[in-house]
Amino acid sequence: SQTIHQWPATLVQPVGSPLSLECTVEGTSNPNLYWYRQAAGRGLQLLFYSVGIGQISSEVPQNLSASRPQDRQFILSSKKLLLSDSGFYLCAWGPPSEQYFGPGTRLTVT
Amino acid sequence: GQQLNQSPQSMFIQEGEDVSMNCTSSSIFNTWLWYKQDPGEGPVLLIALYKAGELTSNGRLTAQFGITRKDSFLNISASIPSDVGIYFCAGPSSNTGKLIFGQGTTLQVKP
């Protein structure tokens, strides 16, 4: 069966520091992968999606970037965090019509 | 763009009561998904609906794909405290194929 992992579970970072969040999927090959952000426990905003290694599409202009160095690994990064980057970050995999989410990373920028 | 509107925004009910929530759109959707998100965790897919008029159950949960393809309903029977969470509806955009999510219905159950 397929499983999806996110690391770390929680993170507190100062403004201006770099960020790297990792997502890995097991039990499937060449999955579509997605990064979402959720603010205040409601509303999922799609940030990035990837249909294959090195292929990244950005949904909204922002301070973040994504990379897919391996088939089942998806990384969310920032060079300099802003206060507004705080939130709950969710990784998902699956076809566009049916996605499965990871456990999430709670990011607090101070 | 396409939007999904969920109602009610929140519900506070007594344990044992039945719950009904819905999701509507001005656009047609060919798939409806219902997710539940427990506090501090990622959303979990509860039910997927693929055909207009389809009625699907998952334990105490029942969801229906509206006949007009512009709405969907989720019912929970005999609620229990672990039903607490946020329930999201979602569907793929006919323009982009990407999933569109409603804003969620927050359910609280009083023991």
Whether residue A7 lies within 8 A of chain B, CB to CB, comes out as: no
Chain B residues in contact with A33 by the CB 8 A cut-off are: none
Each residue of B22-33: pLDDT tens digit? 999 999 999 999
Q: What is the mean pLDDT of chain B?
A: 95
Question: For residue A84, what is the DSSP state?
Answer: G
DSSP for B2-69, written as a single string: ---EEE-SEEEEETT--EEEEEE-SS--S-EEEEEE-TTS--EEEEEE-STT-EEEETTEEEEE-TTS
Percent of chain B with pLDDT over 70: 100
pLDDT value of residue A34: 96
pLDDT value of residue A68: 97
Chain B nearest-CA distance from A97, in A, is 5
Chain B residues in contact with A96 by the CB 8 A cut-off are: 92, 97-99
**pLDDT at residue A6 is higher than 80:** yes
Contact A46, A34 (CB under 8 A): yes
> Which one of A2, A6, A44 would you mutate to disrupt binding with B, by most B Cβ within 10 Å of its Cβ?
A44
Closest by Cβ to A103, choosing from B41, B97, B106: B41
Please tell me the distance from the alpha carbon of residue B47 to that of residue B49, in angstroms, as a whole number.
Answer: 7
**CA atoms within 13 Å, Cβ hemisphere of A10:** 4
Each residue of A42-85: pLDDT tens digit? 789 999 999 999 999 998 878 899 999 999 999 999 999 999 99
**pLDDT at residue A27 is higher than 90:** yes
Chain B residues in contact with A92 by the CB 8 A cut-off are: 42
Chain B: residue whose CA lies nearest to A10: B40
Chain B nearest-CA distance from A49, in A, is 9
Each residue of A99-109: pLDDT tens digit? 999 999 999 99
